[in-house]
């Protein structure tokens, strides 16, 4: 699947909810599998359907250590269909984010320290859970893609943007020489 790049109109659109009967369709299941494979191939820790030119409200979060996020916690991929934010922390923290749709850059972005969410699982059941720390950050980043935003919309000052190569050396401490 091709990944939409910043400037593509799809990244500014609000995703459309998926009706329950379509959640269980073979076509949707195949799409979710392709979405996951696209994210894994790109070393992402999350991806949303608009990032692959699809307007449906589905995203995957899958924190794991990778070349892009060497210190990420490990979790099984989580498919979130029609996700909603129920509540989020008043406390926020700034940390560096990258995006498959904004290649070559990192942003120092303020996000809530935890978020309580509701979503449909792949079997159509509605569930809720609380996400914390880096996993909450991934959720909020991917949720932005479902509401027509990217991390660029959260930049407080221009000095909070850094080239990926500089971030890897200065912040992540990765020497690639």
Query: Residues annotated in the binding site for Fe cation, as ranges?
Result: 99, 141, 145
Binding residues: 99, 141, 145
Distance (Å) of CA 106 to CA 44, 74, 168: 13, 21, 10
Is the sign of the CA dihedral 92, 163, 159, 147 positive or negative? Answer: negative
Phi-psi region of 86 (alpha: psi -120 to 50; beta: other; left: phi over 0): alpha
142 flagged as catalytic: yes
Provide the H-helix boundaries in 42-99: none
Q: Which of 2, 20, 97, 142 is catalytic?
A: 142
Which residues belong to the active site? Answer: 142
């Amino acid at each position: 699947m091709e990944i939409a790049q910043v400037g593509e109109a799809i990244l500014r659109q609000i995703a459309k909810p998926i009706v329950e009967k379509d959640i269980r369709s073979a076509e949707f299941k195949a799409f979710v599998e392709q979405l996951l494979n696209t994210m894994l191939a790109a070393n992402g820790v999350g991806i949303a359907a608009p990032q692959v030119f699809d307007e449906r409200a589905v995203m995957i979060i899958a924190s794991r250590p990778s070349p892009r996020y060497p210190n990420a916690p490990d979790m099984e991929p989580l498919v979130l269909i029609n996700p909603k934010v129920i509540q989020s922390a008043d406390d926020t923290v700034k940390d560096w984010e990258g995006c498959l749709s904004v290649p070559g850059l990192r942003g120092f972005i303020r996000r809530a320290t935890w978020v309580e969410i509701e979503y449909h699982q792949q079997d159509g059941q509605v569930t809720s859970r609380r996400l914390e720390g880096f996993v909450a950050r991934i959720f909020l980043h991917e949720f932005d893609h479902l509401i027509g935003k990217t991390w660029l919309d959260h930049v407080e000052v221009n000095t909070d943007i850094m080239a990926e190569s500089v971030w890897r050396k200065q912040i992540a401490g990765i020497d690639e020489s």
